[in-house]
Amino acid sequence: MPVSRANGHDIRYEIAGSGPPLVMIHALPFDHNLWLYQVERFSSRFTCVAMDLRGWGASAKPRGPFSLRDMGDDVLGVTRDAGLAGEAIVMGCSIGSKIALMLACDHPETFRGAILVGGHSGPQRQFDGRIRDYRAHAAAGTLRDYHLGHLRHGVTRAWADSETGRYLLGGFVERGASLDAESIALVFGALGVSDLTPKLAGFDTPTLIVNGEHDNALPGGARTAALLRRAEHFILPDAGHCCFIENPGVFNARVAGFLQRNGLWPGVA
């Protein structure tokens, strides 16, 4: 995987396709492979770039304090180092959704559209238990088992227990062998205190907000959609937090339609 060091830490990413940039920011506790079906679908029209956030996957595991804005700067550094120029679309899930919204708010000249999955614009102070459990399992040598349990929390039980689900979740566990509980704690801390709500009143970028029917972030997604001037909100049936890996066909079709309706689909005037 290529590496960006633009913001002082190694951020690994993959790039595929050609066309306008489509920047993909994963959820916790996954890595950039969460977007495999979207890269496959959209790389014929877009230059798809998916990175491992700091603290996750093959990227750096820093232990010094940092903010959500620092993580957003990592994303911007990847786009610069990858040579991506011109107007882009940003797509994120969960923490990736919050980073995507922050980038779209702060850089409307760069990001012409935003796709937010399972997101929340306000502060999220419910992660103390996760931080405590990651530290406890790291100390006990059972982090792999805990990581798998956390991954399963991001999808429906039926999908997690399917052959596809077991295979893909197992891959995230294998690639997560270098996870560091202290770095994870800092990521959750940065997510929890961030509040983008004051930015939303002036935000005028076309935005698609997607939640799975069984996503515990659905109320937050609905609230965020209600605060945005140009938002569509879609609920994907029979799916969880990371609905796009469970039902990529319906999700991808909805994204394509959103981009076409807003003049963001390459080749459409």
Per-domain boundaries in the chain: 3-261
Average pLDDT over residues 14-32: 97
Average pLDDT over residues 54-72: 96
Predicted model pTM: 0.96
Question: pLDDT grade, residue 269 (50/70/90)?
Answer: very low
The pLDDT value recorded for residue 121 is: 82
The answer, yes or no, to whether residue 125 has pLDDT greater than 90, is: no
DSSP 194: -
Query: Which tens digits make up the pLDDT trace of 197-256?
Result: 999 988 999 999 999 999 999 999 999 999 999 999 999 999 999 999 999 999 999 999
> What does each C-alpha distance from 76 to 7, 23, 72, 131 come to in angstroms?
9, 10, 6, 27
Between 125-134, 146-155, 240-249, the lowest mean confidence (pLDDT) is in 125-134
Name the CA dihedral angle for 162, 50, 186, 222, rounded to a multiple of 10 degrees: -70
Average pLDDT over residues 103-110: 95
Average pLDDT over residues 74-81: 96
- CATH domain 3-261 topology: Rossmann fold (3.40.50)
* pLDDT mean across residues, the chain: 95
The pLDDT value recorded for residue 268 is: 55
Average pLDDT over residues 6-21: 96
